[in-house]
Structure 1
Amino acid sequence: MNLFDTLLEEKIIAILRNVPSSKVIPTAQALTDGGIKLLEITMNSEKALESIYQIRNIYDQDDVFIGAGTVLNKEMAEEAVEAGAQFLISPNLDTSVISYANKHNIDVWPGVMTPTEMVNAWNAGAKAVKLYPAGTLGPQYIKDIKAPLDNIPIIATGGINIENLETYFEAGADAIGVGGQLVQLKLIENNKFEDLEKLAEQFVKTITYGGLLHD
């Protein structure tokens, strides 16, 4: 199974932002033990490139996928891919990042907000888009935008938690990106990795058994 198919099947990306570099490995272990298969290290995190490299070399590339987030331009994309990133995610739309990723057979899911940005990203070669900030826009926005643009897979990101995630899938989201509501820094700081694993399990179970109507 390729990475894009894994995204559509697993439906969740765990976003590791500002996780201390000394705790990135046990954090990744807790998340993957909890059933998460896609991990995103944001490029504005401490030693992000080193963290990507370390995680990529721990896991089988067909079992757990590690990517870079907050990739704002082509230069950052190049650094991330060199470190081993298997996918790139941005909060913005930069077609040079999409072109670079496609040239190197790297999945890229750029950040968009408007229908115009979604179509531009799709036409540039993105297989999916990150709708951000989904929490501000809300599920109804996704439902409305999916009416004319149902061919473009959407990763809803920002403001997603275990209580509301079902509403985003019901509205038409194909996957979600979850940061602080899942990768809780307080748990990590206090070395409560078993609790983090259990939280990951709860997210996975909610997605698996939560009645995702578009499957």
Structure 2
Amino acid sequence: MDLLTELTERRVFAIIRADGPERALDCVRTLIAAGITALEVSLTTPDAVEVIARARSESGPAVLIGAGTVLTAHQAESVAAAGAEFAVTPALTKGALRSVELGVPLVCGALTPTEVVAALECGATAVKVFPAGVHGPGYFRELLAPLPTAPLVAVGGVDAARAPEYLAAGARAVGVGSPLLGEAGTGGPQEALAARARDLLAAVRPAGPLTGPAVPGPDSARSADR
């Protein structure tokens, strides 16, 4: 699996943080049914490794399930064993280095040009510019001026309204967490999450149908009304 190609084609991945594993899985199922097929389950979610394993086992091959907030080498090993197809870190952590050693595609967090270069030199597939919202889309243009081939993704403070601006500025994809999840991870309505997911997809792909792998239909995931 070529993670960079997949992220570039899909243009968006969801970041899931929830107060328990069942709610996290409900969010995963809702997002897949709504059409978002690249998902990062943050390890700040209780029993996140179990969530990753269960989400991977019940999702089709067109769905990418990754692990976020991978800080330690042990966490990297645990999520790899659970079937995570990519790892996301907030910085160049021990978990980032171990993910590369294990052959798990890495989206490594960085902010400055020095950090971007360090992430790529350690073997990152893509660099998560975080928190993107602190500097805005123009910062991506500034970073890409001296680093034109750097595969950057925007995370932190990105919502449906601003996502197209980051993509236009050169980001390969955007990762969206709380503006997308809202209260769904803590008991809020899954129907509202599905509506936000559809709005986000419409924002990042306004010109036509989805590119990349076919999106599963409603029958391929458990009901979003759980």
TM-score by length of 2: 0.86
Cross-structure match for 2:215: none
Cross-structure match for 1:73: 72
* Cα displacement (A) at 1:143: 0.9
The alignment yields a C-alpha RMSD, in angstroms, of 1.8
Task: Answer yes or no: is the 8 Å Cα contact 1:52–1:84 preserved in 2.
Answer: yes
- Aligned match of 2:200 in 192, 200, 203? 203
| Whole-angstrom CA distance in 1 between matches of 2:202 and 2:38 | 16
Question: What pairs up with 1:28-39 in 2 under 5 angstroms?
Answer: 28-39=28-39
| Percent of residue pairs bearing the same amino acid type | 34
Cross-structure match for 2:82: 83
Q: 1:188 to 1:198 in 2, by over 3 A?
A: farther
| Whole-angstrom CA distance in 1 between matches of 2:119 and 2:183 | 32
Cross-structure match for 1:137: 135
Cross-structure match for 2:213: none
Letter in 2 for 1:194: E
| Whole-angstrom CA distance in 1 between matches of 2:97 and 2:152 | 19
Give the total of aligned pairs. Answer: 208
| Whole-angstrom CA distance in 2 between matches of 1:109 and 1:181 | 20
3-state SS of paired residue (1:111):
strand
| Whole-angstrom CA distance in 2 between matches of 1:28 and 1:150 | 34
Letter in 1 for 2:53: Y
Cross-structure match for 1:59: 59
Unaligned runs of 5+ in 2: 209-226
Cross-structure match for 2:42: 42
TM-score by length of 1: 0.90
| Whole-angstrom CA distance in 2 between matches of 1:187 and 1:109 | 23
Q: 1:75 to 1:7 in 2, by over 3 A?
A: same
3-state SS of paired residue (1:200):
helix
3-state SS of paired residue (1:195):
helix
* Cα displacement (A) at 1:19: 4.3
Task: Answer yes or no: is the 8 Å Cα contact 2:141–2:169 preserved in 1.
Answer: yes
Cross-structure match for 1:165: 163
Task: Answer yes or no: is the 8 Å Cα contact 1:98–1:125 preserved in 2.
Answer: no
Task: Answer yes or no: is the 8 Å Cα contact 1:127–1:152 preserved in 2.
Answer: no
Higher RCO (C-alpha under 8 Å, 6+ residues apart): 2
| Whole-angstrom CA distance in 2 between matches of 1:146 and 1:65 | 27
Q: 1:88 to 1:183 in 2, by over 3 A?
A: same
